[in-house]
Amino acid sequence: MTKEEYKRKFEEDEAVGWLSLDKLTEKLYPNQEPKHYGTVIKYMLGGEDPLDGVSIYESKNQNNHYHFVSYGMSNLYYDLDNCEEEFSGWGFEFTFRLIPFEEDNEDPKWVISLMQNLAKYVFNSKKWFEEYHFIPANGPIRLNTETNIIAIAFVEDPEMGTIKTPNGNVQFLQMVGITTEEYEQLKQNPKTGETKIVLDRLKKENPLLITDLKRK
């Protein structure tokens, strides 16, 4: 979209990118109002958390699970200067799927902290994540929890994919919890091909790659 078209089509106070993300989630979860956790002070105004918010949907696909979607890795607002770029912001948003975990009491806020920490890593290091990257959680993925899930691999969200927005393309990059053994395997062969092998193996029984903290 050219700058002229962009200017004609959108108002300066319009959340151009945000509305594009909402269009997709509304298609996936019609009539569902997500639990949305927004940041008090936006990052661009000096806040600590790069993500403006995280929405949590309840999905019944495959297994009942929570589906988290981040808002803030891509360009959410009116941005005439960058509207002709190929990618919106960092070019992706985080997603995560989680089997409900008893100790969360139906409020898995730890996932939001995890997403914010990964976002801080990207904003501070200027190193972004791509499909089949992986990263250790430096302990259990959920702090102070007996779980064998200690690292995260990234894959394109099987239901959300990549979308074109007026601010550029956005890929929904799903965080997948992986076990100690799987992480050791990836560390020994840190090529993208190995991550794909591990995730393809998981996909056979778990096509949506839903994270289960009880998985051994």
pTM across the whole model: 0.95
Distance CA 149, CA 183 (A): 9
Number of other CB atoms surrounding residue 163 within 10 Å: 16
Give me the residues paired with residue 136 across strands.
151
How many DSSP H helices and E strands does the chain contain? Answer: 5, 8
Q: Where are the domains of the chain?
A: 3-205
Half-sphere exposure of 109 (CA within 13 A, CB side): 5
pLDDT over threshold 80, residue 42 = no
pLDDT for 41: 77
pLDDT for 47: 80
Stretch 28-47: mean pLDDT: 87
pLDDT in tens, 115-133: 999 999 999 999 999 999 9
Strands 53-59, 35-38: pairing is antiparallel
pLDDT confidence of 39, banded at 50, 70, 90? Answer: confident
pLDDT in tens, 51-109: 999 999 999 999 999 999 999 999 999 999 999 999 999 999 999 999 999 999 999 99
pLDDT greater at residue 175 or residue 42: 175
